[in-house]
Amino acid sequence: MPKPVVPEQSRRRRRPTRSGTVLSEQLIVETALRMLREHGSAGLTARRLGLALDCDPSTLYRYFRGMDELTLAIGDTLIGQALRGWSPSGDWRSDLRTIGARIHRAYVAHPQAAVLTTSRVTGRPNELAADEAVLGVLRTAGLPVRDAVSIYHAFIDQTLAFAALDAASLALPNAALHSDEEMWQSTYRRLPASTHPHIAEAAPLLATEMVASAYPSALELLLDGVAARITGRTAG
């Protein structure tokens, strides 16, 4: 049976670690993010995290019921970083573009953590705030709740899917990442028009386009669809 999580107020009264550090959820999450960045998901264990924080690993379970709950807290922290300082402008398209770009950027800034958390639903405050913000933008734009939910679903899944894809590339060893990028030059660009006419025609553009994230373009396509739906409702 998992140990009960100690309320935050009670945790503050606990003695500091052996090195004098006072533990908190924030410190544990920040340390976990650093460990993910340096060692990848395989390197994030309670034992190693305890060593990094100079505390007994069992102490971590006063803050999180297990490593899975810590994973959810990491994901929620990334969403919180994305939302920090954002407020709606009243322009639905600009607001959705900004929220999407912020979430994508926050995850891609922590590739290993993104690979671990993009598929999870945290139910934590920052995730709820992001959901409320996106739904609020769509409802304020005049969309009925059913349309708002449908678009929200497509918007958030697209954002997280591209974040996961781009993060997975960045999490590759440098040699593998370079090899993948070089493939557009070494193979695709050399294909003859006689056998692959469409690839040969597009090869110079592919070599440039395919090594960058497609998220900005995909986001604009989604926003165009939202605009068409809003226009259709207005015209109707």
Query: Does 88 score more than 80 pLDDT?
Result: yes
CA-to-CA dists, residue 16 to 46, 63, 70, 126, angstroms: 18, 14, 20, 28
- Residues 156, 42: one domain? no
The token pair at 141 is 């734009």
Average pLDDT, the chain: 90
Nearest to 82 by CA among 35, 54, 114, 44: 114
pLDDT at 43: 87
Query: Does 1 score more than 70 pLDDT?
Result: no
Q: How much is the average pLDDT of 212-233?
A: 94
Nearest to 63 by CA among 122, 12, 118, 121: 12
CATH number of the domain to which 55 belongs: 1.10.10.60
Instruction: For residue range 9-66, list pLDDT tens digits in order.
Output: 555 435 566 666 789 999 999 999 999 999 888 889 999 999 999 999 999 999 999 9
Nearest to 68 by CA among 123, 128, 24: 123
Residue 22 lies in a domain: yes
- Residues 128, 230: one domain? yes
pLDDT at 9: 52
- Residues 43, 134: one domain? no
Residue type, 79: I
- Residues 21, 114: one domain? no
Query: Does 137 score more than 90 pLDDT?
Result: yes
Residue 3 lies in a domain: no
Residue 48 lies in a domain: yes
The last residue of one of the domains, among 43, 65, 87, is 65
pLDDT band at 220 (very low <50, low <70, confident <90, very high): very high
Residues 50, 57 contacting (CB under 8 angstroms): yes
- Which parts of the chain fold into alpha helices (H)? 8-12, 25-39, 46-53, 67-83, 92-108, 111-117, 125-140, 145-170, 174-186, 197-209, 215-235
How far is 143 from 133, CA to CA, in rounded Å? 14
- Residues 151, 185: one domain? yes
* Model confidence, pTM: 0.86
- Residues 123, 172: one domain? yes
For 17, the domain range is: 8-65
- Residues 115, 133: one domain? yes
